């Protein structure tokens, strides 16, 4: 009898300890870069619901999600890879996989997490369930010379595209056999600094720092090789100093046009995605860092490098110009739209706040306290190619 009672009691405890049943579609996390924390947030209530520490150096940290939106994989600067359960609000597993990392991606089938590393330069593939190392591909571009890896993006068929900063290459590594990956190499141009894949997974674009232009590879026909687009967009004019590198992930495409940050110019470049020709430029108030489209593509929001990182410009894609310019806070590092774009969340690092804006009225509808917030990542990324 005592045994039975004990068993019932244990059952009761388990029931009480279980989290409330809910989905994850309106959840997300905010990176608190200086203190190694992430704050978990609910975009419906616009409130935080948990805070998790011990994640190491989170400067330049980013996150991707498992396809069910339950687990976040956080990539830290110090090479830490942490798997977080968004529902139970706890760390499931954490490994230190390199000395200096810059981000990662998850495969189309959700089974492989790939991390891109600066030191030692290369990529590493991990089992998404266990974080066990599956394989690695060093970014050796010449005998004994290793490059920093930038712009890693997932594509179809468990292929990942990325670029080599020193190596000046675009690479495509196929993890169909996750323990025996195969890699194709394509010359890209001088100093690719970041990359992106288009929403359909077809094109990989690598922004070039060392020359005016963007290298592009058609992942449906990689045998055609990488080619340059937007060549000489600076037309030989002296570049303005770049106090922070633009980020390309966060790709903006709207009405058949792509919106990209110029390098060393206070402009957003507009490109026709059918011809990949430049069709316009929109002057903005600084060196763009993130140029991100609202999910419906009607607006493109732009934040800026130091010293203009307190400003935001909003481009109306129908009007083709900035229609709203404001100064929401200090040190605006990142932005993330709610799944259908009615709100945008901005991290104001130097105000220690995340600011929530209505994207129609541009009014502030909420804020959350956070310690030096940087990246904001919502679970909707789970279902998007290249996020």
Partner 1 sequence: MAAEPDAARQKELVRLVRQDCGSCHGMTLQGGLGPALLPDSLHDKPAEGLVATIYYGRPGTPMPPWKQFMSEAEAGWIVEKLMSGFPQ
Write out the residues near partner 1 by the rule CB under 8 A. Answer: 33-34, 57, 59-60, 77-78, 100, 102, 118-119, 148, 150, 165, 191, 193, 209, 241-245, 306-307, 331, 349-350, 372
Query: Closest separation between CB of residue 349 and partner 1, Å?
Result: 7
Closest CA to 52 of 80, 21, 91, 18: 91
> 56 or 328, CB closer to partner 1?
56
Query: Closest separation between CB of residue 118 and partner 1, Å?
Result: 6
Query: Closest separation between CB of residue 185 and partner 1, Å?
Result: 21
CA 99 to chain centre: 20
Residue partners of 238: CB distance under 8 A and separation at least 6: none
Query: Closest separation between CB of residue 63 and partner 1, Å?
Result: 17
> 270 or 289, CB closer to partner 1?
289
Query: Closest separation between CB of residue 205 and partner 1, Å?
Result: 18
> 61 or 87, CB closer to partner 1?
61
* Cα 197 to Cα 159, 250, 326, distances in angstroms: 12, 10, 30
> 135 or 352, CB closer to partner 1?
352
Closest CA to 259 of 234, 239, 279: 279
Query: Closest separation between CB of residue 59 and partner 1, Å?
Result: 4
> 287 or 343, CB closer to partner 1?
287
Query: Closest separation between CB of residue 368 and partner 1, Å?
Result: 20
Query: Closest separation between CB of residue 306 and partner 1, Å?
Result: 5
> 115 or 382, CB closer to partner 1?
115
Query: Closest separation between CB of residue 375 and partner 1, Å?
Result: 13
> 201 or 288, CB closer to partner 1?
288
Both tokens assigned to 257: 């046009």
> 86 or 170, CB closer to partner 1?
170
User: In this structure, what are the phi and psi dihedrals at residue 237, rounded to the nearest 5 degrees?
Assistant: -70, 150
> 83 or 349, CB closer to partner 1?
349
* HEC readout, the chain: CHHHHHHHHHHHHHHHHCCCCCCCCCEEEEEECCCCEEEEEECCCCEEEEEECCCCCCCCCEEEECCCCCEEEEECCCCEEEEEECCCCEEEEEEECCCEEEEEEECCCCCEEEEEEEECCEEEEEECCCCCEEEEEECEEECCEECCEEEEEECHHHEEEEEECCCCEEEEEECCCCCCCEEEEEECCCCEEEEEECCCCCEEEEEECCCCCEEEEECCCHHHCCEEECCCCCCCCCCCCCCCCCCCCCCEEECCEEEEECCCCCEEEEEECCCCEEEEEEECCCCEEEEEECCCCCEEEEEECCCCCCCEEEEECCCCEEEEEECCCCCEEEEEECCCCCEEEEEEHHHCEEEEEECCCCCEEEEEECCCEEEEEEHHHHHCCCC
> 97 or 191, CB closer to partner 1?
191
Query: Closest separation between CB of residue 309 and partner 1, Å?
Result: 8
């Amino acid at each position: 009898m005592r045994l039975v009672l004990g068993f019932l009691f244990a059952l009761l405890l388990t029931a009480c300890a279980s989290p409330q049943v809910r989905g994850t579609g309106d959840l997300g996390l905010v990176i608190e870069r200086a203190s190694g924390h992430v704050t978990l947030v609910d975009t419906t209530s616009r409130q935080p619901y948990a805070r998790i520490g011990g994640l190491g150096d989170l400067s330049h940290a980013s996150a991707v999600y498992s396809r069910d939106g339950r687990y976040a994989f956080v990539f830290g600067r110090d090479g830490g890879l942490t798997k977080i359960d968004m529902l139970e609000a706890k760390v499931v597993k954490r490994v230190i996989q390199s000395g200096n990392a810059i981000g990662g991606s998850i495969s189309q089938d959700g089974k492989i997490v790939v991390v891109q590393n600066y030191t030692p330069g290369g990529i590493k593939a991990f089992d998404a369930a266990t974080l066990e190392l599956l394989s690695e591909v060093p970014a050796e571009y010449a005998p004994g010379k290793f490059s920093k890896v930038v712009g890693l993006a997932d594509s179809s068929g468990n292929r990942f595209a990325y670029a080599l900063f020193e190596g000046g290459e675009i690479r495509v590594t196929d993890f169909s056999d996750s323990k025996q990956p195969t890699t194709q190499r394509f010359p890209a141009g001088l100093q690719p600094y970041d990359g992106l894949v288009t929403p359909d997974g077809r094109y990989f674009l690598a922004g070039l720092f060392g020359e005016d232009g963007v290298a592009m590879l058609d992942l449906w026909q990689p045998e055609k090789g990488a080619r340059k687009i937007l060549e000489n967009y600076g037309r030989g004019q002296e570049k303005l100093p770049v106090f922070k590198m633009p980020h390309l992930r966060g790709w903006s495409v709207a009405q058949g046009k792509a919106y990209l940050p110029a390098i060393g110019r206070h402009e957003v470049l507009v490109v026709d995605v059918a011809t990949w020709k430049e069709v316009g430029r929109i002057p903005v108030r600084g060196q763009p860092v993130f140029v991100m489209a609202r999910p419906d593509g009607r607006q493109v929001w732009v934040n800026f490098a130091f010293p203009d990182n307190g400003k935001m410009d909003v481009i109306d894609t129908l009007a083709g110009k900035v229609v709203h310019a404001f100064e929401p806070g200090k040190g605006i590092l990142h932005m993330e739209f709610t799944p259908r774009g009615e709100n945008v969340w901005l991290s104001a690092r130097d105000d220690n706040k995340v600011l929530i804006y209505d994207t129609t009225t541009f009014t502030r509808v909420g804020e959350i306290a956070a310690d030096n917030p940087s990246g904001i990542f919502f679970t909707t990324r789970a279902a998007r190619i290249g996020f």
